[in-house]
Structure 1
Amino acid sequence: MVGCELEEKERFWSELDEVMESIPTGERVVIKADFNGHVGEGNTGDEEVMGKFGLKERNLEGQLVVDFAKTMDMSVVNTYFQKKATYYVEDAI
């Protein structure tokens, strides 16, 4: 989503919200995607949705991922495990 216009990003997140709302309550959902978002190191203020092992600095796309996880009561799961510096996995919800 890096390089996309803000309007296109907003449309994407709005459509993803609609898809999530169509899923019955109680169903488990895993979203595996490359959002080109970096949620950043640490989790101060976001402990309810992520661990402290993110990489890099948080960017706009990473903030959108964190906000989405909060709204949907989900987690950014790859931040709960420490990764080797040479191995980088994009943030997934």
Structure 2
Amino acid sequence: MRTDNCPVNSDYLRNIYFAGYNEGYNESINIGCRQVLRMALSTKQIETSPEIDARITHCADPEQLTQWLVDAITGKPLEEVFAD
């Protein structure tokens, strides 16, 4: 766990601070993955259904988002990319 640049001295508060920091960092990664996936689909002129768009929006797993991206840019049919 990082201990530099923490504005608090208490171990308890430091843990809470860095838990929030890590949560924000992870969400930033997910937002970036979603944006890249949507950009790739748009560039390939692939339209997504509202259901697929919702799956992308609510996915919190960067590995899943990355797999969808790889599958989409390598030419898999959309039905296969987002198959359950």
Q: Same fold (TM over 0.5)?
A: no
Name the structure with the higher helix share. Answer: 2
Structure index of larger Rg: 2
TM-score where L is the length of structure 1: 0.31
